[in-house]
Amino acid sequence: MLTILTTYPDVLIDGFINTLFSSVIALFFSLIIGTLMAILQLAKNKWISGLANAYVEFFKNIPLLIIVMFFYVVVPLYWFSINGFTAGTIGLTIYTSAFIAETVRAGIMGVPKGQTEAGLSTGLTQNETMRYIVLPQAFKIVIPPLGNQFINLVKNSSVLAMVTGLDLMYQGDLIASETFNTFDTYILIGLIYLIITLPLTYLMSYIERRLNVTS
Amino acid sequence: MTIIEAFSWMNIRFLLDGLLVTVEVALLSIVFSFIIGAILGLLRYMKIPVFSKIIGAIVDLIRNLPLLLIIFFTYFALPQIGIRFDIFWSAVAALTIFESAMLSEIIRAGLNSVPSGQMEAGRSTGLSYLQTLWFILIPQAFKAMVPPIVSQLISLIKDTSLATIISLPELTHNARIIYGQNTTYVIPMFIALAFFYFIICYALSKVAKRFETKLA
């Protein structure tokens, strides 16, 4: 295992960086899209909330791989060329945004109605109340589940390997097929994933415990 | 019309063959991982010195790994140390290993959500530890467990698509073969894939929701 680490340090670091990079980009955009979708789901207009609902239900109930393959296979065939990393990251963003929308929506609904009414009665508009009163409180509720979404995101980013996304899993696969030492390579790759995900998991359960104590 | 050609009887049958493999792999993994997950979750809940800690550590390791890596591992790496499965059982084994870790965590959290007074009350009425667990705690914990278990099952069904990488002839794999032969079939095949997965997963989530409101 050590020989793999010393023979292919550049490849492994490259994969590690790509995995992190893809996860962080996807997290950033899926937070924005997911929050927007959650707000739209709660809109009074039936058409708007229906469309947002359809988006969330559709992408929650189909495999991530299908979304990623759509961008990798269909998009270049009919529209424009796209590399595996970009296709994978876009797919990850869309897939995760559906789950984040669901989490944030539950968070918004967890904020007591009186808060909205109080905000409105002080003269804030509907949008201002949402932005300054409801969302900040909702985010406190959703921090633990959002953390879990990020851990899932890091793990799910391994799907990039199936569309030549140059991530950690992909590089590991290359090393395995070059050295024929599949056992050690995959254990090593697993350990590198754990370096990212394990601290996050423990951090999240710590935050969860802290929040439980205060509430 | 390419759409009509794409959905020729032959292609539809090929897709349905794939769907059957998807369902078989999913069902077998669900049954196995539910049994193993329940045992592991209970053992962790019981807080047996050292033993529960070791199980906890293993579960934490497995559930923090990408499933794709576990699939690769069972199919490509385990043969190197003499453990050999065919493609079908590799997929089932990988899914079972991963999902039983996830389920054990859900089951443990569900049991922990029952107030400890329930256990004490059960024991003080003369029930044994196992009887209290079975008749008092598990029925109460069950309610809290149903929603996360269902969403885990849905992700298991979606995750079977990852086994396409070891050429398991499941739905995604078969769709890829069809559009690989004729690129004008790409869009119809993606529509078919989204349709099949969506119908199964959405239906499951709706049934679960109805079941939940009945429980509550």
Q: Encode A110-140: b = buried (16+ Cβ within 10 Å), e = exposed.
A: ebeeeebeebeeeebeeeebbeebbbeebbe
Chain B neighbors of A88, CB-CB under 8 A: none
Q: Between A and B, how many CB-CB pairs are < 8 A? A: 109
Chain B neighbors of A185, CB-CB under 8 A: 77
Confidence band for B78, pLDDT divided at 50, 70 and 90: confident
| Neighbour tally for B70: CB within 10 Å | 22
CA nearest B162 in A: which residue? A65
Nearest to A66 among B66, B154, B193 (CB): B193
Global ipTM? 0.87
pLDDT of residue B216: 66
Q: Looking at the complex, report in whole angstroms how far the Cα of residue A196 sits from the nearest Cα belonging to chain B.
A: 9
What's the domain count of chain A? 1
pLDDT digits (tens, 9 = 90+) for A36-94: 999 999 888 899 999 999 999 999 999 999 999 999 998 988 888 888 899 999 999 99
Average the pLDDT over each of B78-82, B153-157, B164-168 and give the range with the smallest value: B78-82
Q: Is the pLDDT assigned to residue A1 strictly greater than 90?
A: no
pLDDT of residue B112: 85
CATH at A82: 1.10.3720.10
Chain A neighbors of B198, CB-CB under 8 A: 58, 61-62
pLDDT of residue B113: 83
Q: Is the pLDDT assigned to residue A215 strictly greater than 70?
A: no
Nearest to B205 among A61, A69, A161 (CB): A61
Is A194 in contact with B65 (Cβ distance < 8 A)? yes
How far is residue B20's CA from residue B91's CA, in Å, rounded to a whole number? 14
In terms of pLDDT, which residue wins out, B61 or B123? Answer: B61
pLDDT of residue A212: 67
CATH at B101: 1.10.3720.10
Confidence band for A194, pLDDT divided at 50, 70 and 90: very high
Confidence band for A3, pLDDT divided at 50, 70 and 90: confident
Is A186 in contact with B161 (Cβ distance < 8 A)? no
Average pLDDT of the segment spanning B200-215: 85
| Neighbour tally for B190: CB within 10 Å | 19
Chain B neighbors of A155, CB-CB under 8 A: 64-67
Give the single-character DSSP code of B189: H
Label each residue of chain A as H, E or C: CHHHHHHCHHHHHHHHHHHHHHHHHHHHHHHHHHHHHHHHHCCCCHHHHHHHHHHHHHHHCCCHHHHHHHHHHHHHHHCCCCCHHHHHHHHHHHHHHHHHHHHHHHHHHHCCHHHHHHHHHCCCCHHHHHHHHHHHHHHHHHHHHHHHHHHHHHHHHHHHHHHCCCCHHHHHHHHHHHHCCHHHHHHHHHHHHHHHHHHHHHHHHHHHHHHHHHC
**Rounded to a whole number, what is the distance in angstroms from the first to the last CA of chain A?**
46
Nearest to A201 among B64, B186, B193 (CB): B64
Instruction: Give the structural domain span for A154.
Output: 2-214
List residues of chain A with CB under 8 Å from any CB of chain B: 57-58, 60-66, 69-70, 73-74, 77-78, 151, 155-159, 161-162, 169, 172-173, 176, 181-183, 185-187, 189-190, 193-194, 197-198, 201
Q: Encode B30-49: b = buried (16+ Cβ within 10 Å), e = exposed.
A: bebbbebbbebbbbbbeeee
CA nearest A200 in B: which residue? B64
pLDDT of residue B114: 84
How far is residue B148's CA from residue B138's CA, in Å, rounded to a whole number? 15
Q: What is the overall mean pLDDT for chain B?
A: 88
